[in-house]
Amino acid sequence: MTFQLTPKQQQGLDVLAGLATWIMLFGGGRSGKTFLIVRAIVLRALKAPGSRHLITRSRFNHLKASVMLDTFPKVMRVCFSQLVKGKDWDINMSDGYATLPGGSQIWFLGLDDKDRMEKVLGLEFATIYVNEASQVTWAGVQLLLTRLAQRVMQLLPGRDPAPLKLRYLFDCNPPSKAHWAFKVFKQKLDPETKEPLTRPDNYASFQMNPVDNASNLSPEYLETLRGLSGRMKRRFVDGEFAEATPNALFDEGVIDAWRVDQGDPLPDFVRVVVSVDPSGASDDEANADNDEVGIAVDALGTDGRAYLLEDLSVKGGPSTWGRVAVQAYQRHKADIVVGESNFGGGMVKSTVQVAAAALGMRVPVKLVTASRGKVQRAEPFSAMYEDGKVRHVGIFAKLEDELCAFSTGGYTGPRSPNRADAHIWALAELFPAMTKPAAHPPVEPLPMVNHFRRTR
pLDDT number for residue 437: 58
> pLDDT grade, residue 276 (50/70/90)?
very high
Position 440 in a domain: no
The pLDDT tens digits of the residues spanning 347-396 come to 899 999 999 999 999 999 999 987 778 899 999 999 999 999 999 999 99
- Number of structural domains found in the chain: 2
Residue 447 lies in a domain: no
Same domain flag for 314 and 352: yes
Taking 80 as the threshold, does the pLDDT of residue 401 lie above it?
yes
- pLDDT grade, residue 452 (50/70/90)? very low
Share of the chain above pLDDT 70, in %: 91
Tell me the CATH number at 394. Answer: 3.30.420.240
Task: Give the CATH number, domain containing residue 146.
Answer: 3.40.50.300
Does the pLDDT value for residue 51 go beyond 50? yes
**Average of pLDDT values for 252-280?**
91
The answer to whether position 364 is within a domain reads: yes
Tell me: pLDDT of 255 over 80.
Answer: yes
Same structural domain, 296 and 155: no
Both 196 and 299 in one domain: the answer is: no
Same domain flag for 195 and 64: yes
Look at residue 329 and tell me if it is in a domain. yes
CB 135 within 8 A of CB 60: no
450 within some domain:
no
- The average pLDDT across 45-57 equals 98
Please tell me whether the overall predicted TM-score, pTM, comes out greater than 0.85 for this model: no
The answer to whether residues 194 and 325 belong to one domain is no
- pLDDT tens digits, one per residue of 94-104: 999 999 999 99
Q: Are residues 275 and 192 in the same domain?
A: no
Higher pLDDT, 28 or 437: 28
278, 355: one domain: yes
pLDDT tens digits, residue range 162-193? 999 999 999 999 998 989 999 999 999 999 99
Length of the chain: 456
pLDDT level of residue 264 (50, 70, 90 thresholds):
confident
Provide mean pLDDT across the span 325-350. 89
Q: Which letter, b or e, does each residue of 18-27 get, where b requires 16 or more Cβ atoms within 10 Å of its Cβ? A: eebebbbbbb
Q: What per-residue confidence (pLDDT) applies to 97? A: 98
The confidence score (pLDDT) of residue 456 equals 36
Mean pLDDT of the residues in the chain: 90
- Based on the fold, state whether residues 55 and 97 are members of the same structural domain: yes
pLDDT at residue 441, as a whole number: 53
What is the reported pLDDT for 168?
98
> pLDDT tier at 453 (50, 70, 90 boundaries)?
very low
Predicted pLDDT of residue 374: 87
Q: How many Cα atoms occupy the beta-carbon half-sphere of 338 within 13 Å?
A: 24
- Within a domain: residue 104? yes
When pLDDT is averaged across residues 254-279 and rounded to a whole number, the result is: 92
In a domain, 441, yes or no: no
In terms of domains, do 218 and 334 share one? no
Considering the domain boundaries, does residue 266 fall inside one?
yes
Strand partners of residue 273: 298, 336
Is the model's pLDDT at 451 over the cut of 50?
no
User: For residue 328, what pLDDT is reported?
Assistant: 98
Please report the pLDDT score of residue 281 as a whole number: 58
pLDDT tier, 280 (very low <50, low <70, confident <90, very high otherwise)? low
| 191 and 259 together in one domain | no
- On whether both 177 and 271 belong to a single domain, the answer is no
Q: Which range of residues forms the domain containing residue 176?
A: 7-226
Asked if residue 203 and residue 145 are part of one domain, the reply reads yes
Q: Give the model's confidence band at 279: pLDDT under 50 very low, under 70 low, under 90 confident, else very high.
A: confident
Higher pLDDT, 381 or 4: 381
Q: What is the per-residue pLDDT across 54-95, written as a single tens digit (0 to 9) for each? A: 999 999 999 999 999 999 999 999 999 999 999 999 999 999
